[in-house]
Amino acid sequence: MKATTRPSRTRLGAVCLAAVSLLTFTGSPRAAAEVPGRTATAAELTDATLGYRADSRADGLVVGATAAPPYEKLWSRDFGTVVSAPVAVGDRVYAVVNADDGTAGGPRMMLVGVRAATGEDLWPAVRLEQNEPQAGVSYGGGLLYTQTARGTIAAWDPATGKRRWSVTLDSASMHYPPVWYDGLLYLQDGRGTALALRADTGARMWTAPLADYSEGPTVVDTSGVWIGFDGIAWHHLALKTGAELHRFEVPDVSGAYGNPVALGAGAAWMRSSDSDDETVTAYDQQTGAAVRELPADATPVFGPGRVYVAHHGTVSALGTSTYKAAWTYTSSVGAATVRLVAGGYVYVQDADGRLVVLDAETGETVWSYRRYPAPPPMSTVLAEEDWRGFVVPGIATAGGRLFMPADEGTLIAFGKA
């Protein structure tokens, strides 16, 4: 497969957001480091989980993590019916939850913030402006950011729960929260357009047309912005302008869903979930060329010198120099997803209902916890469907603690046993 710079397909002519809006920040003339949203804080640079799949790279790696098993339960909170991938920064934890207890007649999507040590509220839960049953939260530059399915993006003060700004897109179908990187928020609207917003004001900096409609997440690092469509197409865009750097597109094929993209080992990894093509392909971040293809039914996660790939319930720890397996872990139900690599441990979401923690060097199981009941015998179990459901899944760690959404809308915190 080869990267090209072909023009967008004609279906994109209906995209109405092509004009770039360069709104000017009119706040007080303080230094950039003092303006929330512009610069990363010290607390989020290490031992923090900034949202879905850990950070802007979606690589699942938590740098400087201090949590280590065995764990004991510190507290548990019942928030309703479902809890999103948490954000954990310093001594605070945040999530979007569906607080419906079955009596409200529909979803009640709320932003919650709690103290990491006790689970006590930092502030009263905030109801999101558009109450669709799909929303998420991320963190960057000292602010929280939420999105709703129909495209309301908002920034929040993490200390008070007060809204800083809010922007609603004209048309959107969004499942994943925006990604903060170097003072900008990056996202795509699910309707064929990528966007960059100023994180401090919400002002639109650029838009760019995409090859297809999809609800997949956006990932970002120094090389640029990556948006993929399940092995059917992907874009690599410039950080500051949205200009196309590389593109791959299979002609006359559409229907991409929203499998996550991950950046690691010098490549952008795109997964196909077609029943005849359960693979993940690595594309060189500098050239866009396909450099590796591996069997996979879940998105890879990365650690120092390793990529962790799952296929039909077998998790393989592959060295990124030889791509030979140092060890494997096998699920009893034939499905598993790696959620985090943190502090020398690999956190596996086994589809048998458990979170299993493995030693990163040896693959030995060092701790496990049952999050959900085991699936019925002979039932169909999928490893990863992150684009489905009310919120994106995930776990988080910060400050020596582990935070895990569990059954029936519960969030559980663990600390050192």
Question: Which has more confidence, 133 or 339?
Answer: 339
- Given a cut of 60, whether residue 311 has pLDDT beyond it is yes
d(CA 299, CA 307) in angstroms, rounded, equals 10
Predicted confidence band of residue 9 (pLDDT cuts 50, 70, 90): very low
Q: Which residues, in sequence order, are CB contacts of 357 under 8 Å at separation 6+?
A: 69, 345, 346, 347, 348, 365, 366, 367, 368
Count of beta carbons in the 10 Å neighbourhood of residue 375? 14
- pLDDT tens for 178-196 read 999 999 999 999 899 999 9
Q: Please state, in angstroms and rounded to a whole number, the distance separating the CA atoms of residues 43 and 36.
A: 13
Per the listing, tokens 């469907």 go with 385
Full DSSP string of 64-104? T----SSEEEEEEEE-SSEEPPPEEETTEEEEEEE---SSS
Cβ-proximal residues to 4 (8 Å cutoff; 6+ apart), any chain: 247, 248, 249
CA distance 47 to 61: 10
Residue in this structure with the two tokens 């925006």, named with its chain if needed: 178
Check pLDDT > 50 for residue 369.
yes
- Report the C-alpha gap between 387 and 249 in whole angstroms: 21
Q: Residue 59 above 50 pLDDT?
A: yes
**Residues 82/58/413/42 CA torsion (nearest 10 deg):** -130
pLDDT band (50, 70, 90) for residue 250: confident
Predicted local distance difference test score (pLDDT) of residue 19: 33
Q: Is the pLDDT of residue 100 over 90?
A: no
pLDDT exceeds cutoff 50 at 20: no
The string of pLDDT tens digits covering residues 140-168 is 999 999 999 899 999 999 999 999 999 99
| Cβ pair 235, 283 in contact under 8 A | no
Closest CA to 250 of 220, 277, 217, 287: 277
Cα–Cα dist 92/157, whole Å: 12
Q: Is the pLDDT of residue 253 over 80?
A: no
Q: Is 321 exposed, middle or buried (0-12, 13-18, 19+ CB in 10 A)?
A: exposed
Once rounded to an integer, what is the mean pLDDT over residues 263-292?
A: 92
What is the pLDDT averaged over residues 29-40?
A: 73
pLDDT recorded at residue 12: 32
pLDDT at 322 over 60: yes
Q: Give the strand order in the sheet containing 204-209.
A: 179-181, 184-188, 193-198, 204-209
**Would the pLDDT of 343 be above 60?**
yes
Mean of per-residue pLDDT scores for the chain: 89
- Residue 104: per-residue pLDDT: 66
Helices (H), 289-387: none
Q: How far is Cα 263 from Cα 354, in angstroms, rounded to an integer? A: 26
Terminal Cα distance for the chain, rounded? 49
d(CA 58, CA 268): 10
User: Distance (Å, rounded) from C-alpha 222 to C-alpha 239?
Assistant: 8
Q: Is the pLDDT of residue 17 over 80?
A: no
The residue assigned the tokens 């400087």 is 64
Contact 298, 262 (CB under 8 A): no
190: left (phi over 0), alpha (psi -120 to 50) or beta: left
Burial class for 26, CB neighbours closer than 10 Å (0-12, 13-18, 19+): exposed
User: What value does the mean pLDDT take over residues 302-317?
Assistant: 97
Mean pLDDT, residues 388-409 taken together: 91
* Per-residue pLDDT band at 36 (split at 50, 70, 90): very high
pLDDT > 90: percent of the chain: 72
How far apart are alpha carbons 43 and 49 in whole angstroms? Answer: 10
Residue 255: pLDDT band with limits 50, 70, 90: low
Q: What is the reported pLDDT for 232?
A: 87
